[in-house]
Structure 1
Amino acid sequence: MWTAITREVSPALADCQLSFVERDAIDVERARAQHAAYCAALEGLGCRVLELPAEAAWPDSVFVEDVALAFDELAVATRPGAESRRDEGSAVLEVLGSVRPLSRIEAPGTLDGGDVLRIGKRVFVGISARSNAAGHEQLRALLAPHGYAVVSVATRGCLHLKSAVTQVGEATVLVNPAWVDVATFADYAIIEVDPAEQHAANAVRVGDALLYPEGFPRTLARLRSAGIEVVTVDVSELQKAEGAVTCCSILLRRAAGHGEVAA
């Protein structure tokens, strides 16, 4: 049983931060409908969805993953690289703090949750415009007592590490080799995105299934050919805000008799 923390789309979504995509008109009502379908898809994959109310003051606040990290042993309040996003996290952290000891990334460190990919006890952290060396080192220090190894990974041409690579199987990753060095993930089976679908590497793994954005049919075929169960959702309006399926939720897994642990 999983819990997915989400937040409704802000009415100010069109004023979102952008770094690597051109600004395009966003239909906020359509974005809300797509987000509702995304939440329904999470429910269909076995998640209990906890949806926080929209925040008009914070255009990017639907992207809850960037403001907090959840591990089995603790939660971490990140310090987003975009200064305008640093006050978004209070409601998310209130929820996480009720089920995890809470630590924080402090200035001068910056860290976006979208730059953090956990695969077992290895935590890959993107070197990006949003996450700096001080943020990496603070996360390494917070996680070391719990047996996690933090690996810094250079990115290029994309917003976050998880724009370029995500976990899609127990020991399988989906990678855009134009945006990250594939050799970093040599210990895993690698599925490369179709070269014509540059934004296709972002996916959410829930148990043995994958929640994946519509619009990347060639890469989708590669995933299914690898035997991965895939459920697709339309997040095209959220993609205009440089969002993706990972950043719209924080997943926690509930183990029988042991409360909730990070998914």
Structure 2
Amino acid sequence: MSIGGTQPEPIRPTARTATPRRLLMCRPQHFEVTYSINPWMHPEKPVDRELALLQWDRLREVYLSLGHTVEVIDPLPGLPDMVFAANGATVVDGKVLGARFRHLERTAEGPAYLSWFAAQGYRDVLWPEFINEGEGDYLPVGRRILAGTGFRTDQRSHHEAQEFFGLPVTSLTLVDPEHYHLDTALAVLSDTEIMYYPAAFSPGSRSVLQNLFPDALHADPQDAAVFGLNAFSDGYNVVLPQAAAGLIERLRRRGFNPIGVDLTELLKAGGAVKCCTLELRP
């Protein structure tokens, strides 16, 4: 099988249970693309902010309809990417690891998100020494954290996260600039299951993922290209870009309930479902 291909998908009538989650989101009130820090951003192309707001509102409504709690942080002027709440921090066991961004254009987002957590009464909070871009590159799977590096997050921050959370952190190297964050190339489906795009990872990282998750769902290039892996799962319902038709069908065959949404306007800045969603794990 090629690293960009998909394996035959058996029908798996697995009984699955949705677990209510508490989520943090940020309305794209100031959304625009005026700079380029990833291959998706083209400042010369127009952005429809009203459409972005409508698409974001729809995503929030989907979460609420599924029984999740959605908190909303106030967007700040001059921070158009603040809508991508997943980058704002990593929260595990009620502990908050702050985000320190690589690009100057986003550096103010880290303190803004930490201020929100402080106002909400979080006390176990760490301002990081090394660059990390929150859940963009940190994805908990059960009692393990998968951690991306290669484009944004400094690999030294992986040790920092392990010491802070007291959980094993597995480093994974990204090699495709279009999948610059881990959450654009890999999605957590349950405490034991993931889906990912093999071609986005280094050979060693692909081997690590194969050993840890031999039954993982592999996305094909077409679904990866529409950010189909930038998805959120509650263990049963999987919210993902509606254009990822192949993944939607294969998730259904594995017993999940895929829910497609349209976030094409936010994709102009290199973000989709998971980018807009920070899980507040108690």
Identify the TM-score tier after normalising by the shorter chain: 0.7 to 0.9
Partner in structure 1 of residue 110 of structure 2? 89
CA distance, structure 2, for counterparts of residue 245 and residue 96 of structure 1: 22
Partner in structure 2 of residue 197 of structure 1? 223
Match of 2:279 among 224, 236, 251: 251
Partner in structure 2 of residue 60 of structure 1? 81
Matching of residues 1-263 of structure 1 within 5 Å: 1-15=20-34, 17-21=36-40, 23=42, 24-97=45-118, 98-106=121-129, 109-113=130-134, 114-144=136-166, 148-157=167-176, 158-180=179-201, 181-185=205-209, 186-188=211-213, 189-198=215-224, 199-252=227-280, 261=282
CA contact (8 A) 1:13 1:28 kept: yes
The CA deviation at 1:197 is 2.2
CA distance, structure 2, for counterparts of residue 206 and residue 143 of structure 1: 22
* Secondary structure in structure 2 of the residue aligned to 1:232: strand
CA distance, structure 2, for counterparts of residue 100 and residue 208 of structure 1: 32
* Secondary structure in structure 2 of the residue aligned to 1:140: helix
Mark the CA change 1:178 to 1:88 in structure 2 (over 3 Å): closer, same or farther: same
Runs of 4+ in 1 over 4 A off after TM superposition: none
CA distance, structure 1, for counterparts of residue 275 and residue 35 of structure 2: 14
Q: Residues 75-122 of structure 1: CA distance to partner in whole angstroms, max 9, x if unpaired?
A: 11111122221211344323333135111212xx10012011110121
Write 1 or 2 for the structure with the bigger share of strand. 1
Partner in structure 2 of residue 257 of structure 1? none
Q: Residues 56-88 of structure 1: CA distance to partner in whole angstroms, max 9, x if unpaired?
A: 211111011112110014111111122221211
Q: Which amino acid is 2:249 matched to?
A: A
Q: Output the TM-score relative to the length of structure 2.
A: 0.82
Structure 2 unaligned blocks of 5 or more: 1-19
Structure 1 unaligned blocks of 5 or more: 254-260
* Secondary structure in structure 2 of the residue aligned to 1:215: coil
Mark the CA change 1:79 to 1:149 in structure 2 (over 3 Å): closer, same or farther: same
* Secondary structure in structure 1 of the residue aligned to 2:37: coil
Q: How many residues align?
A: 249
CA distance, structure 1, for counterparts of residue 218 and residue 207 of structure 2: 12
CA distance, structure 1, for counterparts of residue 65 and residue 212 of structure 2: 31
CA contact (8 A) 1:176 1:200 kept: no
Q: Which amino acid is 1:56 matched to?
A: P
Q: Output the TM-score relative to the length of structure 1.
A: 0.88
Mark the CA change 1:76 to 1:252 in structure 2 (over 3 Å): closer, same or farther: same
* Secondary structure in structure 2 of the residue aligned to 1:129: coil
Partner in structure 1 of residue 6 of structure 2? none
* Secondary structure in structure 2 of the residue aligned to 1:60: helix
Stretch deviating more after TM superposition (161-170 or 59-68) = 161-170
Q: Residues 162-189 of structure 1: CA distance to partner in whole angstroms, max 9, x if unpaired?
A: 1111112342211111102432223222
